[in-house]
Amino acid sequence: MATAAEEEAAAAREPACRPAAGPALLRLPEELLLLIFSYLDMQALGRLAQVCRWLRRFTSCDLLWRRIARASLNSGFTRLGTDLMASVPVKERVKISQNWRLGRCREGILLKWRCSQMPWMQLEGDSLYISQANFILAYQFRPDGASLNRRPLGVFAGHDEDVCHFVLANSHIISAGGDGKIGIHKIHSTFTVKYSAHVQEVNCVDCKGGIIVSGSRDRTAKVWPLASGRLGQCLHTIQTEDRVWSIAISPLLSSFVTGTACCGHFSPLRIWDLNSGQLMTHLGSDFPPGAGVLDVMYESPSTLLSCGYDTYVRYWDLRASARKCVMEWEEPHDSTLYCLQTDGNHLLATGSSYYGVVRLWDRRQRACLHAFPLTSTPLSSPVYCLRFTTRHLYAALSYNLRVLDFQNP
């Protein structure tokens, strides 16, 4: 028996003419019908699509679903309305969005490893990059997005100790290692360079616009060029007075933010000028000692998100105030938050320190939307890193890489 999706695809392939007879409504110009139908909600559009084949095709128009999609969770639209998934029909994305809202998904395991790891992960197109010990492996997704080809596309080595963090930029992998070195790997060639960057492990790294920033346990942040002739030449060394756990460059390429341990300085979040290395401002003023920031990310040039040891996710808007966040969400079980990710609109996902708990948040609400514990008591693990698309969420734990499939729950 054909599924609903197969029936809809078959109907889309068959010619559907406008009914010659019937209600006067169907004889109106299409532009006017689009205007009238644009006031309908999701349920009304669904019922209208059941009237006839012509209406089924007409109500599948992206223009009718765009307003609904922008108000939905993880539908591929940013807060400013930019469509990040233009190749996928908007109606299909709205359908999957309901699974995110209701917490309907199917759990699976993509990769396993024998020894406990602290993996980091990045997605790019149909490829997944994940660190294991002192290697970074690249895998290709199968068409369903919920499984991987078993043979890696590439293996990137060069560090003497574990890879702590890495980013993808300009067809390069920039990695930070426990050996105090930064590694530069070209994705589509065998080119690899590493250089000593800090006297202790490099906990975090970011790269944008040909500039690399790194943060270390040695209480410094450094700025480096990515240009091939200047690799390893430090542009600025910044004394942060604290261990640096996270770092991110502003989309404007004019500044960067460091997330530190909040032991030697009263604010764990400080913004530095990228060109001079001078302190521009600090965020917040009422952090308790030890409220270190483990993950930070810019959402726009003036807004950023942070999370860490004090169990809060905070949303900062530099246009409003640098001293107080404009929104915050508290982890209900008082667990450290290791990582976060956002769809650029309403959905926020966080990874906790115990039992591999992934939480989904609707940023228009204070309370957590759904929680998914991905490990049992004997194998309790933090979620070291998580990433998601409009269809799947991937979580890297101590012993495996998990997937939550929202497309086929």
| Percent of the chain clearing pLDDT 90 (strictly above) | 77
pLDDT digits (tens, 9 = 90+) for 274-287: 999 999 999 998 88
Q: How confident is the model at residue 16 (pLDDT cuts 50, 70, 90)?
A: low
Contact of 327 with 348, CB cutoff 8 Å: no
Residue 375: what pLDDT? 85
Please classify residue 373 by burial: count the beta carbons closer than 10 Å to its beta carbon, then call 0-12 exposed, 13-18 middle and 19+ buried. Answer: middle
Contact of 153 with 139, CB cutoff 8 Å: yes
Average pLDDT of span 190-209: 94
Rg (CA), the chain: 24
Residue 11: what pLDDT? 45
The domain limits of the chain are 25-60, 119-202+210-236
Residue 377: what pLDDT? 64
Looking at domain 25-60, its CATH architecture is Up-down Bundle (1.20)
Average pLDDT of span 202-216: 97
Residue 300: what pLDDT? 93
Residue 311: partners with Cβ closer than 8 Å, 6 or more residues away: 330, 331, 334, 335, 336, 337
Average pLDDT, the chain: 91
Residue 1: what pLDDT? 45
Residue 17: what pLDDT? 62
pLDDT digits (tens, 9 = 90+) for 378-392: 778 999 999 999 999
The pair of structure tokens assigned to 29 is 């110009």
What is the dihedral sign for C-alpha 163, 167, 170, 174?
negative
pLDDT > 70? residue 5: no
pLDDT > 50? residue 12: no
Q: How confident is the model at residue 20 (pLDDT cuts 50, 70, 90)?
A: low
Residue 240: what pLDDT? 94
pLDDT digits (tens, 9 = 90+) for 337-382: 999 999 999 999 999 999 999 999 999 999 999 999 998 767 789 9
Residue 227: what pLDDT? 86
The answer to whether 25-60 and 119-202+210-236 have equal CATH topology is no
pLDDT > 60? residue 118: yes
The pair of structure tokens assigned to 139 is 């895998």
pLDDT digits (tens, 9 = 90+) for 47-77: 999 988 888 999 999 999 999 999 999 999 9
Between strands 106-112 and 400-405, the pairing is antiparallel
pLDDT > 90? residue 296: yes
Fold classification of 119-202+210-236 (topology level): Methylamine Dehydrogenase; Chain H (2.130.10)
pLDDT digits (tens, 9 = 90+) for 221-254: 999 999 888 888 999 999 999 999 999 999 999 9
How long, in residues, is the chain? Answer: 409
